[in-house]
Amino acid sequence: MLFDEQAKLAHAREVGMEEGMEKGKKVGKEEGIQEGKIQLIRGMHKNGMDIEDISKFTNMDMSEVRHILEGSVAKFLE
């Protein structure tokens, strides 16, 4: 009986680790995409594109684009 409980516990631990790793990958991927958008927006602006056009091309509100360009990216990354 003790062996069965240990096996169940080991299996549950393995499943939990797998779920945690998958969640971590998903979060990391989302953060990478957001960081890419931030770099793209800053690059577009640096090359002379105005905020309205950046907003259109990125499908983002102008206020979000402004926040990124002002350095307030915390709200965008939430």
Q: How many Å apart are CA 55 and CA 63, to the nearest integer?
A: 9
Question: Distances in Å between the alpha carbon of 41 and those of 30, 58, 76, 77?
Answer: 17, 8, 12, 14
Q: What is the pLDDT of residue 16?
A: 94
Q: What is the pLDDT of residue 71?
A: 85
- Structural domain boundaries of the chain? 2-77
pLDDT tens for the chain, 78 residues long, are 577 888 899 999 999 999 999 999 999 999 999 999 999 999 999 999 999 999 999 999 999 999 999 987 655 555
Q: Which of 57, 32, 34, 30 shows the shortest CA–CA distance to 45?
A: 57
Q: How many Å apart are CA 2 and CA 11, to the nearest integer?
A: 14
Q: What is the pLDDT of residue 62?
A: 95
